[in-house]
Amino acid sequence: MNKFILKNLIIYSLILGLIIGIISIIPYIGTFGMFALLFLSAPCVIFYLILDGKLDLNTVKDGIIYGAITGFFANITFSFAYAIITSIIYFIFNYTSNFILTTMTIQSPVWLLITFVMFIGVLTATTNAFTGFVTYYILDFIRDIYARKHK
């Protein structure tokens, strides 16, 4: 795998995870943020890199690998951003948008949080590998339509 592509995938995934983690603090938007993290982070990053000219999906395998990498790293920054901001808001304002996650973040030992983040990271890598797979076929379909129109 090309190191340039890998570096861009990781950087944009980390930025997207941070943005979703910050937005997920808003009470009713947090559910949509987690949905976006689970299913839409790979297509967003892949489409952005393709439009920017830094990536090209040539095989199904590329779509699956890029999706899994994107999902895992987006989850890492999402989890850390969400946990830190939730803890700060709880300690300063004594307010929580999700009582169970805030209590788990504050009361759990660090090893348990890291284990939970890694478990969810594997889950998001799996779901984003699938959406990367679907992204390849959607892009292939669009390329096929474009090729037919411009023969």
pTM: 0.89
pLDDT value, residue 94: 86
CB 117: neighbour CB atoms within 10 A? Answer: 15
CA distance 115 to 118: 5
pLDDT value, residue 96: 80
| Residue positions counted in the chain | 151
pLDDT value, residue 18: 95
pLDDT value, residue 34: 87
Residue 46: partners with Cβ closer than 8 Å, 6 or more residues away: 55, 57, 63, 66, 67, 70, 132, 135
CA distance 61 to 58: 8
Show pLDDT as tens, one digit a residue, over the chain (151 residues).
789 999 999 999 999 999 999 998 888 888 898 899 999 999 999 999 999 999 988 899 999 999 999 999 999 999 999 989 988 988 899 888 777 877 888 888 989 989 999 999 999 999 999 999 999 999 999 999 999 998 7
Q: Label residue 56 left, alpha or beta by phi (over 0 means left) and psi (-120 to 50 means alpha).
A: beta
pLDDT value, residue 1: 73
